[in-house]
Amino acid sequence: MAAKNYRVKVAKIVNYGERSSLYKLSIDEEFGFSPGQFVMVSIKDKDGREMRRAYSIASSPNDKGFIELLVTRVEGGIASEFFKNAKVGDSFGILGPMGVFKIREPISDPVYFIATGCGIAPFISMIRSLLEKGLKSKIILLYGFRHEVDYLCKEYVDDILKEYQNFSVIPVMSQPKGKWKGYVGRVTSFIDVAIEPKEDTQAYLCGQKEMVEQVKDSLINRGMNKENVFLEKWS
Ligand SMILES: Cc1cc2nc3c(=O)[nH]c(=O)nc-3n(C[C@H](O)[C@H](O)[C@H](O)COP(=O)(O)OP(=O)(O)OC[C@H]3O[C@@H](n4cnc5c(N)ncnc54)[C@H](O)[C@@H]3O)c2cc1C
């Protein structure tokens, strides 16, 4: 579907600690997209100049009348400040859908999704849409985050876990506080234990550039075909 300008309205905001929020944005027009794609959000800087920032769509294409964006704010960021001040009822412009980070058929069994931070956003969309279509392959999500509060979209992950037996998640916390009983460390340290890379196994990676590069190299070195490793790298 060709990218177009749309007007969206903030319908709901779910906060994850101080830094991240999920924005449910209602759209009056029909908006089609492929899971994994992003939209450009139009923002004005303090001098009134129009800026654009990319945000992956976290909702499923089967959700009609709205999309969801997961935003982790950075200190002093223009879009970060915009989203920090956004309230239910505010409206703004988006351009989309855009991007070539999409599901490639046929899908392997198992298929891996590896993300850190808000890199989980396109995977919630991809995983939900695959399962809603009835995919029977084993889907394994390896997800890294800093503290318990940074386990973004946990409510979605828990709902998917309850509904689909072929989905599993390996959450990895890098800086646990309190009673976390799961894996501790960086996602990159768990690649060897969590993933059995066969030549035809597919892996989708999304998050910080360094993590994505490191995981890609590790998977390819251990036998995964580089044609089956799909990446989205942010800054
Ligand atoms: C295809 C694509 C999809 C994306 N999807 C998402 C998404 O779903 N959710 C999301 O939160 N972001 C996503 N991003 C990143 C997003 O587009 C912005 O870059 C990010 O929100 C920062 O924008 P800003 O205007 O607040 O910061 P800017 O005003 O651009 O930058 C302010 C300062 O912060 C630094 N900075 C920028 N990004 C980071 C960072 N990640 N960590 C630390 N410092 C940083 C800059 O170097 C600069 O010094 C995506 C980017 C791309 C290219």
Distance 12 CA to ligand 1 centre (A): 22
For 3, 37, 87, 92, 158, the CA distances from 43, given in Å and listed in that order, are: 18, 19, 15, 8, 33
d(CA 25, CA 71): 13
Percent of the chain with pLDDT over 70: 100
What mean pLDDT value characterizes the chain? Answer: 95
d(CA 120, CA 75): 21
d(CA 205, CA 191): 12
Point out the ligand 1 atom lying closest to the alpha carbon of residue 98: 1
Residue linked to tokens 């070195």: 221
Point out the ligand 1 atom lying closest to the alpha carbon of residue 56: 8
Rounded to 5 degrees, φ, ψ at 190 are: -105, 0
Distance 89 CA to ligand 1 centre (A): 24
0.90 exceeded by the pTM?
Answer: yes
State which of 18, 70, 74 you would mutate to test the pocket of ligand 1, scoring each by most atoms of that ligand within 8 A of its C-beta.
74
State which of 21, 55, 82, 100 you would mutate to test the pocket of ligand 1, scoring each by most atoms of that ligand within 8 A of its C-beta.
55
Distance 90 CA to ligand 1 centre (A): 21
Distance 80 CA to ligand 1 centre (A): 8
Cβ burial, residue 20 (10 Å; 0-12/13-18/19+): buried
Closest CA to 129 of 58, 200, 71, 225: 58
Tens-place pLDDT, residues 3-22:
999 999 999 999 999 999 99
Tens-place pLDDT, residues 73-131:
999 999 999 999 999 999 999 999 999 999 999 999 999 999 999 999 999 999 999 99
| Contact residues of ligand 1, CB 6 A cut-off | 38, 53-56, 70-72, 74, 76-80, 99, 118, 121, 232, 234-235
Distance 21 CA to ligand 1 centre (A): 14
DSSP state of 57: B
Point out the ligand 1 atom lying closest to the alpha carbon of residue 121: 8
Point out the ligand 1 atom lying closest to the alpha carbon of residue 20: 11
Distance 235 CA to ligand 1 centre (A): 7
Tens-place pLDDT, residues 188-224:
999 988 898 888 899 999 999 999 999 999 999 999 9
Enter the ipTM: 0.95
d(CA 99, CA 54): 10
CA 118, chain centre distance (Å)? 6
* 167, two tokens: 């989905």
- Beta sheet of 38-44, edge-to-edge order: 50-56, 38-44, 91-98, 4-16, 20-27, 66-72
Tens-place pLDDT, residues 156-195:
999 999 999 999 999 999 999 888 888 999 999 999 888 9
